[in-house]
Amino acid sequence: MSSIPVPQTVKRQRSTATLPAAAGPSKLREPGAARTVAATRSISTADNGRFVPARRTATTASAGLTLPRAPMTNTTNRPAAAATRTVSATKAAPNATARRGVTSVTRLRPGTNAAVAAAAASRSSNGSTGSAASGDVDPSRMDAMESRLASMAELFELERTKTEEKWNKERWERLAQEDKVRQLEEDLLEQRKIAQSKQEEIKRRRTLADDEMLQLTAKFNREKRLLETELEQERETVAALKATLNQQSTSHLTMESTNTALRSQIQVLQDEIETLRSRIAGMDADVAETKAANAHLENELREAESLRRKLHNEVQELRGNIRVFCRVRPPSNNDANNGTEALATIRFPNEREASQIELLAAAESATGTVTMRNHLFTFDRVFQPSASQADVFEEIAHLTQSVLDGYNTSIFAYGQTGSGKTHTLEGAPDSITGWGSNPAADAGAGLIPRAVQMLWSTAESLKDKGWRYDFEGSMLEIYLDNINDLLGKSEVDKAKHEIKHDKGRTSVSDTVVVPLDSPAHVFALLDKAKKRQQVAATLMNERSSRSHSVFMLRVRGHNTTTMEACDAVLSLVDLAGSERLANSGSDKDPVRLKEAQSINKSLSSLADVISALGQNKTANHVPYRNSTLTWLLKNSLGGNSKTLMLLALSPMAAHLNESLCSLRFATKVNSTTIGTAKAVKSVAS
C-alpha cells in the first residue's frame, strides 16, 4: 500500500490560500491579489505508511508581508494632489506602517497588474519625496487625497471584513477538511491493520507453503534416491544383459548353423509329406469306396436281418408253437433229509437226439398182479441230470430272440414241488444278488437272468442296424386265484386287478410297471419281488411256492431306417407244485389245504385250455376264464405267441407217481397244435 487515492473533494480543497497581514492603523488587510501567500497541503507517506499534512508556507518580504504599491490614478487627473495625499497619509501613520512593514498603500483597480502597481508606487514615492523635499504641497490636493484615502480606507475596511469572513469560512472548511483527513487517516490506519493481518496471513501461508515445499523436497529426495538405486540396479542388469548378449551371440551362431541343417531336414520332410499326401489322397479314395461298399453291405445286412427274422420264425413254427422240454434234476441234500434216498429207474434212449425219456414203474393188473412196466415219453428236448443251466438256455435262446423280433413268448415251468422249477428259472436260492452285470459268468444262473442279459446284448448289437429298444417289467403273483402285485408299495395287495386283452397285448390294471435300463435293474426288481412271494414249508419242500409267479418283460423297438416297429412281451411263469394233497401234507393244515386246492384248480384249468386248443380246432370257445392263471396267459396260449413248457422232474423213486402224472400232462401239451404265431407290430415314431 505505497499510495492511496485521495478523494476529489480533498484535492479540490487543496489550493493556494491568502493569509491576512497587518495593514497599518486601520487594520486593513491587503487584497488577495497583492498578498501572495501559498498555502499548500500535501499528503506524504512516511516509511511506516502514516499520512502527514504538509506545512503551510507564506512568502513575505523581509519580516512581514510586503505588498507592492499600485500607481494611484485619479479621474480628475491630479497626480500631484494624489502624491501629496499619499505622503501625508504616510506621515500620518509612520508607526503603523513600520509596525506592519508596509511603506505605502495603493489602491489597485481591477485589471491592473502587480508591475503597473509597483511602478505607480515608485513614481508616487518619488514625487512625494520630491514634493516633501521642495515643501510645496497643494492643500486641495491633500484634501482630495485625504478624502480619497478615507474612501479607500472604508473600502479597505469593507474588503477586510469580507476577507475575514471569507477566511473564517475557509478556516472552518479547513477544519472540517482536517477532520475528514483525520477520519481518513484513521480509516487508512484501520486498513493498514487489516493489510498487516492479511500480510501476516500471507506470511503464515507462505510458511505453510515453505513447509509443504520442504516436505515435497524431502519426498523428491527420497524418490530421487530410489530412482538412483533403481538406475544402479538397471545398470547392473544392463551389464548382465550385455554379458548374456555376448554369450547369446555365440549361441546364435551355433543356432544358425543348426537352423541351416534343420532347414535342409525340413525340405526333406516336406518332400516326404508331399509323398504322404498323395498316398493319403489315394487312401481317401479307397475310404470313399469302402464307405460306399459299407453302405451297400449295411443295406444287405438289414435285408439279411429281415430275412433272418423271417427264417427264424419259420424254423420256430416248424418246431411247433407249443414246445415242451423235460429236465431231470440231480439228487439233492433235501432228498436225504426227507428219507427218499432211493432213485427211480430213469433211462434216456437215443442220447444223441435227446428227445426221449423212459421210466420203469410197477403196474397192477386187473387181477391184482403187480408187474414192472416201461413208460416212454417223447418231447422236443430232454435234459439229463448232468445238463447245466447253460445247456438249457442254449435251447431256449432262439425263443428269447423272437421277443426282439416282435413275437409274444411264454415259458412255463411245470412240475411238482421240489422238482427244480425255480432253480431252472432263477438259479440258486441266493444267487440273484450275486449275478452282477454278466450272469453268464455264473454257472448257477437260471434262465431269467440269462435271457435278460441276452436281450440287452442283442438289442445293443442291433443298434448298428438302426434298431432302438425300450424295456419295462412287472412281477405278478396269483395266490388263491387273486392277482398280487409283487412290486407294489404295500405288503399285502388288496386291490382288485382287472385283466384286459387288446390286439394281442395283455395288461393288468393297477399294477406297477417299471422302466428298465440295464440287466442289473431287472435283477434288483426280481430280488424285491422274490422277498414278497408266498412260500411255506411242506413235506415236499421246506420253501414250497404256494402261488404262481409271472414275470412280464415288455420290449418295444423301432427302426428309424426301415420304419419298422415291434412290441412284444416275454412271460416267464413259475407254476406252483402239482403234487397230490396227501403227498405234500396239505390236507392236515386248513390254510395249506386251501392253497393246494387253488393251485390244483388253476393247473386243471390250464390242462382244460390246452385240451380245448388241441381238440376244438374250429371251435371258438376256450375256457380261459375258468381261472385267473389261464385268463392272464390267454395271449400266450391262444395261437399268436410262441410257448415253451419246461417240465421239471425229480429223480427220486418216492416221487415216481407224481413224475408220471407230470409226464402225461406234458405229453398232452406237446400233442396240442395251435395257430401260427403272429408278430405284434406298431407304428414307428
pLDDT band, residue 413 (cuts 50/70/90): very high
pLDDT band, residue 71 (cuts 50/70/90): very low
Of residues 319, 572, 583, 570, the one with CA closest to residue 458: 570
Residue 679's pLDDT is what?
63
Each domain of the chain, given as residue ranges in start order, spans 8-188, 320-670
Which of the given ranges, 93-107, 543-557, 668-682, has the highest pLDDT on average? 543-557
Rounded mean pLDDT of 20-40? 39
Q: For the chain, what percent of residues have pLDDT higher than 70?
A: 68
The residue written with cell numbers 543356432 in the block is 255
Record: fold of 320-670: Kinesin (3.40.850)
| CB burial readout 34-64, b (16+ within 10 A) else e | bbbbebebebeeeeeeebeeeeeeeeeeeee
DSSP string, 515-570: EE-SHHHHHHHHHHHHHTS-EE--SS-TTEE-SEEEEEEEEEEEETTTTEEEEEEE
Amino acid at 108: L
Helix (H, G, I), strand (E, B) or coil at 655: helix
Cα-flanking dihedrals φ and ψ of residue 209, to 5°?
Answer: -60, -40
Q: Tell me the pLDDT tens digit for each residue of 319-332.
A: 556 889 999 999 88
> Distance of CA 662 to CAs 60, 416, 512, 583, 600, Å?
181, 8, 34, 14, 13
Rounded mean pLDDT of 133-144? 71
Q: Tell me the pLDDT tens digit for each residue of 121-132.
A: 444 444 444 444
Amino acid at 22: A
Which of the given ranges, 79-88, 197-206, 591-600, has the highest pLDDT on average? 197-206
Rounded mean pLDDT of 285-295? 89
| 45 DSSP β-pair partners | 51
Helix (H) or strand (E) holding 291: helix 139-319
> Distance of CA 426 to CAs 217, 419, 449, Å?
98, 14, 7
Residue 294's pLDDT is what?
85
The residue written with cell numbers 388288496 in the block is 494
Residue 227 burial (CB count, 10 A): 11
Q: How far apart are CA 69 and CA 102, in angstroms?
A: 9
Q: Tell me the pLDDT tens digit for each residue of 186-225.
A: 999 999 999 999 999 998 888 888 888 999 999 999 999 9
Residue 378's pLDDT is what?
92
More confidently predicted of 615 and 281: 281
Residue 523, pLDDT above cutoff 80: yes
Q: For the chain, what percent of residues have pLDDT higher than 90?
A: 27
Residue 445's pLDDT is what?
85
The pairs formed by 586-594 with CB atoms below 8 angstroms and a separation of 24 or more are 586/538, 592/536, 592/538, 592/546, 594/480
Helix (H, G, I), strand (E, B) or coil at 357: strand
Residue 375, pLDDT above cutoff 80: yes
Rounded mean pLDDT of 401-422? 87
Residue 120's pLDDT is what?
47
Residue 405's pLDDT is what?
83
Residue 369, pLDDT above cutoff 80: no
Rounded mean pLDDT of 64-68? 39
Rounded mean pLDDT of 410-423? 88
Residue 346, pLDDT above cutoff 70: yes
Strand 499-502 and strand 482-485: pairing?
unpaired
CA triple 330-336-339, angle to 5 deg: 125
pTM over the 0.85 mark: no
Residue 78's pLDDT is what?
43
Instruction: State the average pLDDT for the chain.
Output: 75
Which of the given ranges, 325-339, 571-585, 593-607, has the highest pLDDT on average? 593-607
User: Hey, CA dihedral for 626, 630, 635, 639, is it positive or negative?
Assistant: negative
Amino acid at 136: D
Helix (H) or strand (E) holding 310: helix 139-319
Residue 67's pLDDT is what?
40
